Amino acid sequence: MLDLDFEIIGRTWKYLFFDGMAFTIELTLLAMAGGIIVGTMLALARLSSFTPVSALAGGYVNLIRSMPLVLVIFWFYFLVPYIGAWLIGSKNPLKIGAFTSSLVTFILFEAAYYCEIMRAGIQSIPRGQILAGYALGMHYWQTMRNVVLPQAFRNMIPVLLTQTIVLFQDVSLVYVLSITDFVGAADKVGRRDGRLVEMLLFVALVYFVMCTLLSGLVRRLQQRVAVIR
Amino acid sequence: MPPLIEIKNVSKWYGAFQVLSNCTTDVSKGEVVVVCGPSGSGKSTLLKCVNALEPFQQGDIIIDSISVGAKGTNLPRLRSRVGMVFQHFELFPHLTITDNLTLAQIKVLKRSKEEAIQKGMRLLDRVGLKAHADKYPGQLSGGQQQRVAIARALCMDPIAMLFDEPTSALDPEMINEVLDVMVELAQEGMTMMVVTHEMGFARQVAHRVIFMDRGEIVEDAAKEDFFSQPRSERAQQFLSKILQH
C-alpha cells in the first residue's frame, strides 16, 4: 500500500506557486507574445508571392515542427552562447542565462505553430477585402496591418489560445535546464522530503484544473469575439 | 484635352485562356459609361484592370496621363485617386462605419483624424446614413452597406469612380436606394465607369454604353444609338433578353 502524506503541500505551496508557477506563467505569456509576433511575420513570409521568402519560411516551419522540443531547448542552451560569441567576435561564450535562452527557444519554437494558425487565419479573409484595401490606395503593409491581420487575429483567437495552453504545459520542459518552473519546484521539494509521488500528483491536479478552466474561458471567448459578417 | 481614362488595346490571359482581347475605349471627364454584357464576358476584369487590381499582359491604360501598366508607376497613389465600389461592398467588418470612412483618409491621404471624421460624416449624411456612424457593417442592410461603400470611396476625393456590379448582390427592394445615390453622383458630373445590368440606370444617366462579349468590346456607342439601334447581333440578342420583362 502506498504511504501518501500530503502535508508537505501545506508547507511548500507558497514556494510552488510564487516561485514555480509565477515563472511558468511569466515564461508562457512572454513566449506567447513573442511567438505570435514572430509567427505572424512567418505567416506573411509563407504567403509571400516571392518564392525564396515563402520557401525559406516554409522550410523553417517544417524543420521546427519535426523536432522534439526538448532537443531544441538543449541545442539552444548549449549552442547559442557559442554562436553569439562567434557573431560578435568574442573569445568566450556569451553568458545568456537559462531564462533568456529558454525564452528565445520557446518563441522560435512556438512561432512555427502560431505561424500555421495565423496563415490559416489570413487565408480565411476574402480576397475582396484585400482588393478593397488596395483600391483605397493602401499599400501591402497598410492593408495587412489595418484590414487583414486584425480580422485574421480575431478569427483565430480561440485557436491561438488553445495553442497557448499547450505552450503552458510545454514550459515544464525547461526542467531539463534545472530551471525552477512549477514542475521543477515541486520536484525539488519532493525529492528533498522524500515525497515525490505526492508532489507530482499535486502538480498533475493543478495542471488539470488550470487547463480545464482556461479551455472553458476560450470557449466562452470564442462566442464573444466572432466578427459579424 | 485627352480623355481621363484611356484604355488602349488591352489584352489579358489567365494561362492559355484569353479573358480580354484588344479592348480599346476611353472615358472623358464628366462622362458616365455603362459596361454591360453576359457574365464571363470580361467586363469586371476590364474594370479591375483600370485601377490595376488585375494585371494585364498587353496594351496600356492611361489615367489622367499616368500609365497603369508602366513599371515605375506608384499604383497605391494612383488607386487612391480612383474610387472603386465592389459587388460585395467589402466594407471592413471589424471597423465601425466611421472608421471605415476615415481609415484610408488618415493612412493614405495623411489627413488629421478630425478632418477625416468631418469629411466622412458629410458624405455619410449625403448617402442618408448619418445615424449609423457608430454601427458595424454587419448591422446594416446590404443596400445601406453599399451606400457606405460609395461614401467611403468618395471620401478620397476621387477623380473618377469605378462601379463593379454595385447592385448585383442586393435584394430587389434595396437596389433603388443605391441607384439613387449613383444617379445623383452622375448628375453632379462625376466621371463614372459602371459595370451593371441595370438598363434603367443606363437609360437615365449614361452617356455611352459599352457592350462586351467573350473578352471583346463588341459595341461602344452613345446611349441613344445603343438602345435604339444596336449594330451587332450579340448586343441585339442581349438587349432583347434583358429588356423583355
What distance lies between CA B118 and its chain's CA centroid?
Answer: 25
Q: Residue A222: inside a domain, yes or no? A: no
Given CB atoms, is B108 within the 8 Å cutoff of chain A? yes
Domain contains A228: no
A129 near B CB under 8 A:
yes
Which residue matches cell numbers 506567447? A32
The pairing of beta strand B82-85 with beta strand B58-63: unpaired
The torsion angles phi and psi of A206, rounded to 5 degrees, stand at -60, -45
A81, B154, B185, B229 from B27: Cα distances, Å: 66, 19, 16, 22
Eight-class DSSP state of A226 = P
Query: What is the band of A228 on the pLDDT scale with cuts at 50, 70, 90?
Result: low
The model's pLDDT over A6-33, given as tens digits with 9 standing for 90+, comes to 888 888 888 889 989 999 999 999 999 9
pLDDT digits (tens, 9 = 90+) for B133-162: 999 999 999 999 999 999 999 999 999 999
pLDDT category of residue A132 using cuts at 50, 70 and 90: very high
Question: What percentage of chain B exceeds 70 in pLDDT?
Answer: 99
Q: What are phi and psi of B54, to 5 degrees?
A: -120, 130
Let me know if residue A112 belongs to a domain. Answer: yes
A154 contact B CB<8A: yes
Position B243 pLDDT exceeds 80: no
Where residue A105 falls among pLDDT bands split at 50, 70, 90? Answer: very high
Cell of residue A212, nine digits: 480545464
Q: What is the mean pLDDT of residues B63-73?
A: 92
**A229 versus B191: which is more confidently predicted?**
B191
Count of the separate structural domains present in chain A: 1
What is the reported pLDDT for B171? 92
Q: Could you tell me the CATH number of the domain that includes residue A172?
A: 1.10.3720.10
User: Which pLDDT value is given to residue B105?
Assistant: 97
Q: Does residue A166 lie in a domain region?
A: yes
- Say yes or no to pLDDT of A229 above 80: no
Whole-model pTM: value is: 0.88
Residue A203 lies in a domain: no
pLDDT confidence tier of residue A175, bands split at 50, 70 and 90: confident
Q: How far is A167 from chain B (nearest CA, A)?
A: 28
Whether ipTM tops 0.90, in short, is: yes
Higher pLDDT, B49 or A90: B49
pLDDT tier, A54 (very low <50, low <70, confident <90, very high otherwise): very high
- For the segment A56-73, the average pLDDT, to the nearest whole number, is 94
Indicate the pLDDT class of residue B60, thresholds 50, 70 and 90.
Answer: very high
Contacts of B206 (CB under 8 A, 6+ apart): B32, B33, B34, B194, B223
Domain extent, residue A74, equals 22-178
**Does the beta carbon of B13 lie under 8 angstroms from any beta carbon of chain A?**
no
Q: Is residue A71 part of a domain?
A: yes
Task: Judge whether A8 lies within some domain.
Answer: no
Q: Touching check for B153 and chain A: CB below 8 Å? A: yes
CB contact under 8 A, B138 and A229: yes
- Which residues lie below 8 Å from residue A217, measured CB to CB, with a gap of 6+? A161
Instruction: Tell me the nearest-neighbour CA distance from B165 into chain A, angstroms.
Output: 14
Mean pLDDT over residues B35-43, rounded?
92
**Pairwise CA distance, residues A92 & A110, whole Å:** 30
Distance CA B13, CA B3 (A): 26
Residues of A in contact with B48 (CB under 8 A): 131
pLDDT of residue A79: 84
A140 found inside a domain: yes
